[in-house]
Structure 1
Amino acid sequence: MNNHNLAIYELDELYNIFVEINKDINFNVEKTDQHQLSNLSLKSNTLILTKKEIPGLNNQIIFNKFPTSIFKLLEKINIEFIKKNFHEQSEILIGNYNFNINSREMFLKDNKLKLTEKEIGSIVYLFKANKPVGIQELQSEVWGYQSQVETHTVETHIYRLRKKILKVFKDDYFIISNDNGYEINKKK
Structure 2
Amino acid sequence: MSYQNLIIYQFTPFYKIFKEIEQELNFNIIEVTNDKILNSTINELENFLIISKKKYSNITSQLIIEQFPTNILKIVEKINIEFLKKKFNYQSHIKVKNYKINLNSRQIILENKNLKLTEKEVNTIIYLLKSNNPVSPMELQKNVWGYQSHLETHTVETHIYRLRKKFFDFFGDNNFIVSIKNGYKIK
CA drift at 1:173: 0.7
Change in Cα spacing, 1:128 to 1:15, as seen in structure 2 (3 Å) is farther
Match of 1:17 in 2: 17
How far the C-alpha of 1:159 sits from its partner, in A, is: 1.6
Q: Determine the C-alpha separation between the residues in 1 that align with 2:33 and 2:126.
A: 40
Give the drift of 1:174: 0.6
For the residues of structure 1 that align with 2:31 and 2:47, how far apart are their CA atoms? 15
TM-score normalized by the length of structure 2: 0.81
CA separation of 1:13 and 1:145: change in aligned 2, threshold 3 A: farther
Paired residues for 1:1-188 under 5 Å: 3-34=3-34, 35-42=36-43, 43-146=45-148, 148-152=149-153, 153-179=155-181, 181-185=183-187
Q: Secondary structure at the match of 1:173?
A: coil
Conserved 8 A contact 1:47-1:59: yes
CA 1:51 to 1:44, structure 2 compared with 1: closer, same or farther past 3 Å? same
Cα separation, partners in 2 of 1:30 and 1:144, compared to 1, 3 Å: farther
Say whether the 8 Å CA contact 1:112–1:168 is kept in structure 2: no
Distance 1:180 1:45 in 2: 43
Separation in structure 2 between the aligned mates of residue 140 and residue 12 of structure 1, nearest angstrom: 58
Return the alpha-carbon distance in structure 2 between the equivalents of residues 48 and 4 of structure 1.
11
Offset at residue 69 of structure 1 (A): 0.5
Q: Percent identity?
A: 48
| CA 52–162 in structure 1, closer or farther in 2 if over 3 Å, else same | same
Deviations 1:72-122 (A, max 9, x none): 111211121122222222333433333222111223345432210010122
SS in 2 for 1:133: coil
- Per the normalisation by structure 1, the TM-score is 0.81
CA drift at 1:178: 0.6
Q: Which amino acid aligns with 1:28?
A: N
Q: 1:175 Cα shift?
A: 0.7
CA distance in 2, matches of 1:180, 1:8: 57
The residue type equivalent to 1:77 in the other structure is I
Change (3 A) 1:9 1:129: farther
The size of the alignment, in residue pairs, is 183
Residue aligned with 1:31, SS:
strand
Code of the residue aligned with 1:8 in structure 2: it is I
Q: CA separation of 1:150/1:110 partners in 2, compared to 1, >3 Å: closer, same or farther? A: same
Gaps of at least 5 residues in structure 1 are none
Amino acid at match of 2:99: Y
